[in-house]
């Protein structure tokens, strides 16, 4: 089995890409050598070489952050408050644009978001690659979740009024195919919402290769500006709005964690700094700063709203 593969621009541009930097898995410190590339024609960023679809699962261990338990099962009250606050932002961003209908969440993880949308009147379904996370969503929340890739889910044409992908598209091997499939299962005028890392964010420049948006090798593509609009146009969508509201202390500390793993060998000093950085109180103290970044379009994550053409 091939463990890695080399690719070119996802839009098919033939000019050889320019390597930005070499990168390893500095988060879980799993083996492998990878590189971030930039297409000179459209500016899209992509990982090449990268893990193949058959080998990528080994870079998603059970402790991967997306697979979090129900909010009520969190140990710390401050973490429950923080997660509910962040969840409400994503819920409000949909409810402000569309009356409750039939919603599909691609990459639904353990189902916290879907359970809240259902509570607010939506009919919901999910798609999740990781079997343990999908099982948790079904057993803990009683959700309808397809285990596997969206491209193999075979939902009927025009099934949904809205489809969301929260920090998912950058993980996919074939993002254009994913969006084309979403266009097929969305009703005309249906809402597509996805969040992706913004490579123009202030902390992307300051952390450089250690920025969490380059979470190698789990992140495979980064879109922004011209190539983001091209992505939507080629898959049957029109851009409605772009916002920054998801960046929090959590995204900063993930970059700091990555930087420490890159720069320092395992030691009591590194463990102490990480323990200090992950104290829940920092989320509260730094909230005004990250809110300011988001309001000024400088946050790590951007959220895209588009309509099916």
18 φ/ψ angles, rounded to the nearest 5 degrees: -105, 125
* Per-residue pLDDT at 138: 96
* Per-residue pLDDT at 283: 86
Provide the pLDDT confidence category of residue 154 given band limits of 50, 70 and 90: very high
Each residue's pLDDT tens digit, 113-144: 999 999 999 999 999 988 888 999 999 999 99
Each residue's pLDDT tens digit, 137-147: 999 999 999 99
Q: What is the mean pLDDT of the segment spanning 66-80?
A: 75
Looking at domain 76-308, its CATH architecture is 3-Layer(aba) Sandwich (3.40)
Give the largest Cα separation in the chain, rounded.
Answer: 56
Q: Taking the model in full, what pTM does it have?
A: 0.93
Q: What is the mean pLDDT of the segment spanning 66-78?
A: 75
Beta-bridge mates of residue 126:
105, 145
229 φ/ψ angles, rounded to the nearest 5 degrees: -65, -35
Each residue's pLDDT tens digit, 16-39: 999 999 999 999 999 999 999 999
Answer for the pair 307, 240: CB distance below 8 angstroms, yes or no. yes
The C-alpha atoms of residue 101 and residue 286 are separated, in whole angstroms, by: 36
The C-alpha atoms of residue 39 and residue 45 are separated, in whole angstroms, by: 7
Each residue's pLDDT tens digit, 254-279: 999 999 999 999 999 999 999 999 99
Each residue's pLDDT tens digit, 189-214: 999 999 999 999 999 999 999 999 99
* Per-residue pLDDT at 192: 98
Provide the pLDDT confidence category of residue 219 given band limits of 50, 70 and 90: very high
Is the pLDDT at 62 greater than 80, yes or no? no
Is the pLDDT at 72 greater than 90, yes or no? no
Q: Who's near 165: CB < 8 A, 6+ residues apart?
A: 105, 106, 107, 178, 193, 194, 195
Which among 106, 230, 233, 234 is positioned nearest to 170, based on CA atoms? Answer: 106
* Per-residue pLDDT at 65: 61
* Per-residue pLDDT at 132: 87
* Per-residue pLDDT at 35: 98
Is the pLDDT at 78 greater than 90, yes or no? no
Domain ranges for the chain, please list them.
76-308
Burial class (CB in 10 A: 0-12, 13-18, 19+), 37: buried
Provide the pLDDT confidence category of residue 153 given band limits of 50, 70 and 90: very high
């Amino acid at each position: 089995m091939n463990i890695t593969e080399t690719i070119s621009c996802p839009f098919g541009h033939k000019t050889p890409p320019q390597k930005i930097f070499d990168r390893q898995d500095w988060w879980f410190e799993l083996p492998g050598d990878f590189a971030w590339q930039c297409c000179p024609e459209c500016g899209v960023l992509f990982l090449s070489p990268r893990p193949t679809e058959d080998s990528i699962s080994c870079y998603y261990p059970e402790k991967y952050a997306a697979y979090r338990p129900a909010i009520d099962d969190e140990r710390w009250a401050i973490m429950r408050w923080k997660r509910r606050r962040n969840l409400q932002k994503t819920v409000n961003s949909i409810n402000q644009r569309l009356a409750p209908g039939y919603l599909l969440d691609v990459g639904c993880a353990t189902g916290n978001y879907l359970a809240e949308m259902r509570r607010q009147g939506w009919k919901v379904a999910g798609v999740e690659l990781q079997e343990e996370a999908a099982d948790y969503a079904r057993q803990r929340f009683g959700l309808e979740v397809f285990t596997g890739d969206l491209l193999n889910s075979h939902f009927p044409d025009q099934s949904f009024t809205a489809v969301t992908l929260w920090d998912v598209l950058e993980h996919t091997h074939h993002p254009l195919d994913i969006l084309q499939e979403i266009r097929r299962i969305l009703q005309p005028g249906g809402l597509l919402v996805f969040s992706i890392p913004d490579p123009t964010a202030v902390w992307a420049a300051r952390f450089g290769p250690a920025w969490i948006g380059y979470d190698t090798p789990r992140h495979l593509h980064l879109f922004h500006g011209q190539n983001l609009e091209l992505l939507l146009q080629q898959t049957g969508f029109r851009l409605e709005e772009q916002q920054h509201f998801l960046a929090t202390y959590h995204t900063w500390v993930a970059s700091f964690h990555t930087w420490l793993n890159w720069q320092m060998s395992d030691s009591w000093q590194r463990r102490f700094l990480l323990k200090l950085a992950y104290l829940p109180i920092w989320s509260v103290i730094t909230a005004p700063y990250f809110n300011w970044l988001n309001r000024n379009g400088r946050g790590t994550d951007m959220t895209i709203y588009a309509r099916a053409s």
